[in-house]
């Protein structure tokens, strides 16, 4: 399967400190928590359609930085969603409870943009006004099913035109990362899943990728007995591995692609349709100051027609243990 590449982008649009109420906390059948990247690539498409062609902006990727969250759950060891009965029925009686997971979010978004010829020649004042317009439009949309609450941040939306020189671009991004702190950026860790699968295969040749994914999503406690006969319990998640999470990254086809209008009760009768299931991988939350390039932060959608895979990609690569981590900007 050929992996798509992030298209060249001309600018970054930073929308800071959004407060989202009651976002969807169940992105897939096997995990819950912060919405996955597919929610935000969908938001990116909706925002571009809402702004229209006259904006001169083409949205190609989105970065997700969380500043805080509040899952709507209760319980101590076992968490349960706070559920509601609404709306009421036609006769005023309460409806049956349908399990819905909700979460309040505080986040910043960073969109990768391509500019048309007019926008490339626009002044800084025009770009600032365009960023304000995009921010106002975004607040009229749903983010992962949640509503954007009104509020004012000290930080203003900004549209940054990237320089053609790669070093200057890197400095522009790292300077922008200061406005993403404190927070955690979501990046892909497909490599950890493949490494763990290889490790399991060395112990058991029948181990599958699903076994590796389940092994990374839980903490296993095993008893270890030393030569003196003393037994200690050790967990499988060692220190320093980072904040690794299971992550729904897209969808895989279950059926052929049906012609538009041939499947009853579809939402859009003018678009071809197929049935799909969720695809999972691993992600990591890490501080934005650890990122060196905007490609490490941005998620972009990809389609693989040969096997019917629709999934989001991210180009983050973990640094080696001996590689220093940049802590600031020298510009």
Looking at the domain assignment, is residue 90 inside a domain?
A: no
Among 95-99, 151-155, 210-214, the range of highest mean pLDDT: 210-214
229 and 141 co-located in one domain: no
pLDDT of amino acid 323: 54
Q: Nearest to residue 297, comparing CAs of 311, 314, 282, 319?
A: 314
258 and 212 co-located in one domain: yes
DSSP state of 85: -
44 and 152 co-located in one domain: yes
145 and 247 co-located in one domain: no
243 and 142 co-located in one domain: no
Looking at the domain assignment, is residue 154 inside a domain?
A: yes
Q: How far is CA 266 from CA 258, 259, 272, in A?
A: 11, 12, 10
Looking at the domain assignment, is residue 58 inside a domain?
A: yes
144 and 206 co-located in one domain: no
Q: How many domains does the chain have?
A: 2
pLDDT in tens, 293-323: 999 999 999 999 888 999 999 999 888 755 5
Q: Which two tokens stand for residue 300?
A: 């972009």
113 and 158 co-located in one domain: yes
45 and 169 co-located in one domain: yes
HSE toward the beta carbon, residue 329, CA cutoff 13 A: 19
199 and 153 co-located in one domain: no
**Residue 37 sits in which domain range?**
11-83+99-188
Domain final residue pick, 188, 223, 238: 188
Residue in the block written with tokens 């058991």: 204
pLDDT of amino acid 319: 80
Mean pLDDT of the chain: 90
Looking at the domain assignment, is residue 1 inside a domain?
A: no
133 and 271 co-located in one domain: no
Nearest-angstrom CA–CA distance, 304 and 117 = 31
Given pLDDT bands bounded at 50, 70 and 90, which one contains residue 330?
Answer: very low
Q: Nearest to residue 19, comparing CAs of 110, 131, 133, 109?
A: 109
**Sequential DSSP letters for 226-274:** -TTS-EEEEES--TTS-EEEEEEEEEEESSPPBPTT-STT-S-TTS-B-
Looking at the domain assignment, is residue 91 inside a domain?
A: no
pLDDT in tens, 192-245: 999 999 999 999 999 999 999 998 888 888 888 888 888 988 887 766 678 899
Among 74-78, 149-153, 249-253, the range of highest mean pLDDT: 249-253
179 and 196 co-located in one domain: no
Domain final residue pick, 145, 168, 188: 188
Q: What is the mean pLDDT of residues 161-183?
A: 93
Angle formed by the axes of helices 37-51 and 124-138, to 10°? Answer: 120
Domain final residue pick, 144, 162, 188: 188
Q: What is the mean pLDDT of residues 76-96?
A: 81
Given pLDDT bands bounded at 50, 70 and 90, which one contains residue 279?
Answer: very high
pLDDT of amino acid 326: 47
Q: Residue 328: is its pLDDT beyond 60? A: no
124 and 214 co-located in one domain: no
Nearest-angstrom CA–CA distance, 87 and 84 = 9
Looking at the domain assignment, is residue 299 inside a domain?
A: no
Nearest-angstrom CA–CA distance, 43 and 92 = 35
pLDDT of amino acid 236: 78
pLDDT of amino acid 91: 81
Given pLDDT bands bounded at 50, 70 and 90, which one contains residue 331?
Answer: very low
Looking at the domain assignment, is residue 313 inside a domain?
A: no
pLDDT in tens, 18-38: 999 999 999 888 899 999 999
Looking at the domain assignment, is residue 323 inside a domain?
A: no
């Amino acid at each position: 399967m050929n992996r798509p590449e992030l298209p060249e982008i001309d600018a970054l649009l930073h929308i800071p400190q959004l407060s989202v109420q009651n976002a969807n906390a169940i992105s897939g059948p096997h995990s819950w928590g912060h919405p996955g990247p597919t929610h935000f690539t969908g938001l990116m498409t909706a925002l571009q359609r809402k702004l229209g062609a006259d904006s001169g902006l083409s949205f190609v990727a989105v970065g997700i930085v969380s500043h805080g969250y509040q899952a709507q759950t209760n319980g101590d060891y076992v968490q349960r969603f706070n559920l509601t009965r609404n709306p009421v029925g036609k006769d005023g009686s309460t409806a049956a409870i349908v399990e819905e997971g909700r979460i309040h979010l505080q986040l910043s978004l960073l969109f990768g943009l391509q500019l048309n010829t007019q926008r490339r020649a626009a002044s800084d004042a025009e770009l600032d006004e365009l960023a304000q317009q995009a921010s106002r439009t975004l607040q009229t949309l749903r983010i992962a099913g949640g509503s954007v609450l009104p509020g004012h941040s000290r930080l203003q939306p900004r549209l940054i035109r990237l320089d053609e020189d790669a070093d200057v671009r890197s400095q522009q991004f790292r300077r922008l990362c200061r406005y993403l702190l404190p927070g955690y950026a979501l990046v892909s860790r497909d490599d950890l899943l493949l490494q763990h699968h290889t490790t399991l295969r060395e112990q058991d040749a029948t181990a599958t990728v699903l076994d590796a994914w389940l092994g990374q999503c839980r903490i296993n406690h095993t008893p270890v007995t030393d030569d003196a006969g003393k037994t200690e319990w050790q967990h499988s998640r060692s220190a320093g591995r980072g904040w690794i999470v299971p992550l729904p990254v897209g969808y895989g086809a279950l059926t052929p692609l049906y012609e538009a209008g041939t499947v009853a009760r579809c939402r859009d009768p003018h678009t071809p349709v197929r049935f799909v299931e969720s695809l999972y991988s691993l992600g990591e939350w890490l501080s934005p100051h650890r990122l060196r390039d905007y490609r490490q932060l941005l998620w972009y959608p990809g389609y693989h027609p040969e096997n019917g895979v629709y999934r989001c990609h991210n180009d983050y690569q973990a640094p080696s243990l001996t590689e220093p981590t940049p802590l600031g900007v020298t510009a």
